[in-house]
Amino acid sequence: MSAQTKTRFAELVSSARAALWNARSGTGGSDQRAVMEAATATSRAAGFLEAVTISDPLAARAMIDELESLVEGADAGTLEAQAT
């Protein structure tokens, strides 16, 4: 997997983490808007991961773990402010 792919996925996950944090903490404006932004950002990361998985399934394993960690943290309410 290329460094560019890893970097882009890290950017997408970071955006999703920030949007989820905003939705949880209430800093993202209206509740509905913050939730939609979180859903959209997470969906983008998942879609990117799907494309990588199709083209290089073995290389995508670490990325799958990272996305699953993000989603589990959102479900459990344990998201940290790791967004940049």
Q: Is 82 contained in some domain?
A: no
Instruction: List all residues 6 or more positions away from 52 whose beta carbon is below 8 Å from its beta carbon.
Output: 1, 5, 9, 59, 60, 63
Q: Is 83 contained in some domain?
A: no
Residue 29 above 80 pLDDT? no
What's the mean pLDDT when you consider all of the chain? Answer: 84
pLDDT tens per residue, range 33-52: 888 998 999 999 999 999 99
Q: Is 35 contained in some domain?
A: yes
- Percentage, residues of the chain above pLDDT 70: 85
Give me the mean pLDDT over the 59-64 stretch. 87
Q: Give the C-alpha separation, 55 to 38, whole Å.
A: 26
Residue 45: the pLDDT is 94
Domain extent, residue 23, equals 3-76
